[in-house]
Structure 1
Amino acid sequence: MLALELSGQAYNKAAHRERLGALLKNRSNGSIEFKHCNISAALLALGFPYVAGYKPRSNYQSLLLEVLEQQLKSNPLVDHAALAAVQLPAVAPPMIDFSRVRDQAPQLQPRTGEPSAPMVFKAVKRDYLEREALNQSLGLAGEKFVVEYEHWRLVKLGHQKLADSVQHISQSRGDGLGFDILSYEQDGRERFIEVKTTSFGRETPFFVSRGELALSKQAEDQFHLYRLFEFRKAPRLFELSGPLERHCLLDPITYRATFS
């Protein structure tokens, strides 16, 4: 299903579930659906997107991760489809009903499941989510989308002058400030917006820099992260305001090594 979805081809979830049910005679439809949600969480852990509609549920056994990793290694089609999907160029949609764009942010869930074990070192062929985060075309399209959205939001609130003052800071002043878009509240206070864009589902992890994390704490009354998801299909967004650690589990991915 993942390969078909990434390739833009149709498939039938119900038919797939029925085929599995015939093989797993002691499993209910609900348990099969739940297991697919476990698989979604395991896919994210391996750096893959997940199948739309199967909300990731992270309380899976480590054996599932091992089996899934072996299945993915033996199926190069998934690798090719995922790589092609995350590297596609993107453009901001020309016509959009912004009144239908907002969504609820995922709820922060405590980690459950097996007790944590010492780190296991594994060879990872690709991290597709990281590669998508480096897709400059997609990132720029998402930022342009948010510039238009903020203009619409402020006009709708009756503040045309503020709407006309919205700035695409990452383009006019460069990266490194910890945010991409300068917008405004109704009273004229500045709103610092960092944009993270994905073509995949709402629960897809995203990457933040040290500067973005620091700004979310230092300017907590002004910092807003806009997470765009399903961008290539029908863009939606949710908003995280203030310190990111209030909303997300933050995993250190890399460290900067220096000699002084």
Structure 2
Amino acid sequence: VAAIFTAIIQSSSATTAIVIAMSIQGIIGIEAAIPLILGSNIGTCFTAGIASVGSSISGKRVALSHLFFNIGGVVLFLFFINKFAYLVSLTSSSIPRQIANAHTLFNVINAAILLPFLSLFVKLVVKLLPGEEIVIKKGPIYLNKDMLNTPSIALSQATKELVRMGEMVESMLNDVMMSFIQNDLNILKSVYLKEEVVNTLEKEITKYLVLISQRSLSPKQSKRLTDLMNIVNDIERVGDHAENLAELSEEKINEKLPFSEKALNELKFMFSKVQFSLNKS
């Protein structure tokens, strides 16, 4: 009952406060309150579970870990519930205070017991929720303003950042293609994430190139800078097209639109041509 109530109100603290209020009125004692406190610790897991919907793989793993941690602790404590009630009764002569202490002691003791098994716990959660976390640095990693007074080096740094941007766009196209084939919406999350990064890089690289243009450049360096400016815009547009394709793939998946084998093969052929052009450029 406490687990369901806590899941509805999404707060174990609120459940604990209600149990304390009931004890003040003399409705329940510590023996009846402890099962409610244990139940509230299970109910609070549903809040994390709801929050993890649509989140990254790490977010889902945290929610699952929270659930296993609390359920495991509650099951363990049920075997020693009378002894736990006695231990809690020693902490204070006031039943409301005992209930509050029971909530704290459960979490502290549970953590102390399960801590030695943390590595096994992690392996279990990863096995149940396999996959790799997408970690992408949103900002530039090669653009160094200290190099602006040496245009040749600054242009090389801008080129490296541009290559990184191009590789990200290429991976976006690969992800879109995979989503069309596998009908997997999760793949598209990385596309939208990378599109944000590509937009950021386009702005930062352009700013950096403008700063380089304010230095004294040789004719060859000026031409290279102009070429880089054009390439930045071109790659950013390809990223926009990849995002548009991702939206089409999302619509296809949501509407459950079937693609024939012939259509998929034609799609693969077109994607291969786009990838070839990207690699050549």
Say whether the fold is shared (TM-score over 0.5): no
- Higher-helix-fraction structure: 2
TM-score tier by shorter-chain length is under 0.3
TM-score (norm 2): 0.23
TM-score (norm 1): 0.25
